[in-house]
Structure 1
Amino acid sequence: MRNRIVLAISFLGLVSVCLPACIREGEPLEEESETAAQEVFTKNAFTKNALKASALTTDRLATEALTGNPLTSAAIAGSPDVLSALRDPMAREFLTYAAGCALPAGESVEVSLDGETYVFEGDVGLAPAWGRAHGHCNARCPGWVSACMLARVNHLGESLPISMRGQNKALDLGPAERESFPHREGAYFGDLFAPEQLRFACRSPGSTLIRRVCGGTGVDTEDCIVDVLGECDEICGPLESDGSFRNCGGGGHTIPTTVTIFRQ
């Protein structure tokens, strides 16, 4: 019997509640989602080495094969470049968080490699179309998945509950989550699949909670794995009704696929 290794992101709570105020009236949803709205209570321990130095980010053929094809078991099994990259444990960690951010809970990707079977579980569902039979990570998919992955980095590789908020249907906010996670940490945005990764963040005004990602005090962020551009109210658009920031500026671009993190 073959061994089964399950690589999954912990998920602490689901609730089928949707507040219409989460999306501006008349505004299209960033991604269609086939799942009910859910509270995004997550634990996160994505390491900075896996973020920037995995074989899925340093090997462009593997990166392009991953994003240019469906995020499914069959597509990965048919890609020698992705399979070769996944022999790197850091690449498997990268794909754990990519799949967890992109696919909804209940969906997963299985990869058989060197006699082992690895299972990469869906969780948040920010880019569900990527996991469909003829899907690929196009349009705003890289931005949403990257923002979510950046938000799940922990400087010490430790697990800590966070609440994700943003203008994507998968991040619809319920009252219990709003009450349980009242402290805004900051916002994250970028593109981890680009030839030169874009890794941006901003601090919530007056907050030092970003030390979860950067280490140190949360004030001096010079050596942070993400480029902390300042306070969010200076580089992003106005606050949304759920307390999240949108349209943050970085790398000469305005990036609407932004995830804002709240803490307990």
Structure 2
Amino acid sequence: MATGCIAPELALEAEGEAENIDSSADALVSGNALSYNALSYNALSYNALSYNALSYNALSPAAASALQDSGAGGALFRMLVNYTVSCALDASQAFSFSWTDAAGATHNEVYHGELGLADTWSDGPLGAAGKQVVSACLAARTNRYGVSVVISMRSHEKPLRHEVDRDEREAYPHVEGAFWGDLFAETPYLRACYNEANAEASRAAQRDCAAGSVDEPGDDVEPCGMIEIVGSCQDHCSKLHPPGQYHKDCEDPDSGKTRYVITTALR
């Protein structure tokens, strides 16, 4: 736990017995309200978080400063780190630090892991696969309006890889699209594609970061902050894996095929 003006170090805390994220629907259903303004804060690019930011020596000076910023930029950065920890770490892990607001009050933050998509980040640098799947998770949980909408997150990658049971398929039948990218690249990027059949349902649920925003019917879709909407998933991704209802891979316009894709579905 860091205090004062010392650069905050990471505290990865075991909370009770370790619990692996299992393949139940409850473990894979998540709210999304990450502001796209937080993504555009450049917080996860190479010049803000070191590649081993969640290992022993933790935060780069720039990231440490951003976490302790008492202004709007600090709030955005903390939101982003909170969601990053939730995507990357599992339920037995947490990231803790302290910061001081403009009134001089100290806030002791503890961000808990949830999905465990890159839980080995606690032991060393985040690898290429981890960077991409965590980025996809963050993109999937971003909301243009800051509104929390419950989504079902599905992927060919562990631990999200599972055969969606009948109850979950019936509860979340509207596959809305897919997300991928790399926020840790020298030039960070995020992409999304939409399921044409459910695009209007996504927009009605205020999930414009999945379907793309349009002012009038027939208009070109608008990006969601830094998330580029590349078009229909039918044109960019493999067919939906029938039992799991997810895209195994997608074709990125610039970087080629990637299997680090998260597919989302709505009620």
**TM-score after normalising by structure 2:** 0.76
Partner of 2:230: 229
Q: Measure how far apart 1:206 and its partner are.
A: 2.4
Which blocks of at least 5 consecutive residues in structure 1 are unaligned?
Answer: 1-32
User: Would you say how many aligned residue pairs link Structure 1 and Structure 2?
Assistant: 225
Secondary structure of 2:198's match?
Answer: coil
2:242 matches 1:261: no
CA distance in 2, matches of 1:215, 1:105: 34
Residue 192 of structure 1 contacts residue 199 of structure 1 at CA under 8 Å; is this kept in 2? yes
- How far apart are the structure 2 equivalents of 1:123 and 1:234? 32
Structure whose CA Rg is larger: 2
- 2:48 and 2:181 map into 1 onto residues whose CA distance is 20
Conserved in 2, the CA contact under 8 Å of 1:38 and 1:170?
no
Are the aligned partners of 1:104 and 1:122 in contact in 2 as well (CA < 8 Å)? yes
Candidates 140, 157, 162, aligned match of 2:151: 162
Pair 201,210 (structure 1): closer, same or farther in 2 beyond 3 Å: farther
How is 1:1-264 mapped onto 2 (pairs within 5 angstroms)?
Answer: 34-39=20-25, 40-54=28-42, 56-57=43-44, 60-63=46-49, 65=50, 67-69=51-53, 71=54, 75-76=57-58, 79-86=60-67, 87=69, 88-114=74-100, 115-131=106-122, 134-171=123-160, 172=162, 173-208=164-199, 209-211=201-203, 212=207, 213=209, 214-216=212-214, 220-225=220-225, 226-240=227-241, 241-250=243-252, 251-264=254-267
SS at match of 2:248: coil
Distance 2:223 2:137 in 1: 21
Give the superposition deviation at 1:210.
4.5
Provide the rounded CA distance (Å) in 1 between the counterparts of 2:138 and 2:233: 19
Is contact 2:249–2:257 with CA below 8 Å preserved after alignment?
A: yes
Contact 1:186/1:210 (8 A) holds in 2: no
Distance 1:48 1:61 in 2: 19
Question: What residue is the counterpart of 1:21 in the other structure?
Answer: none
Of all paired residues, the percent bearing the same amino acid is 30
CA RMSD of aligned residues (A): 2.5
Name structure 2 gaps, 5 residues minimum: 1-18, 101-105
Q: Provide the C-alpha distance between the structure 1 equivalents of 2:202 and 2:131, rounded to a whole number of angstroms.
A: 23
| Cα distance in 2, alignment partners of residues 75 and 118 from structure 1 | 18
Q: CA deviation at 1:216?
A: 4.0
Distance (Å, rounded) in 2 between the aligned partners of 1:175 and 1:111: 41
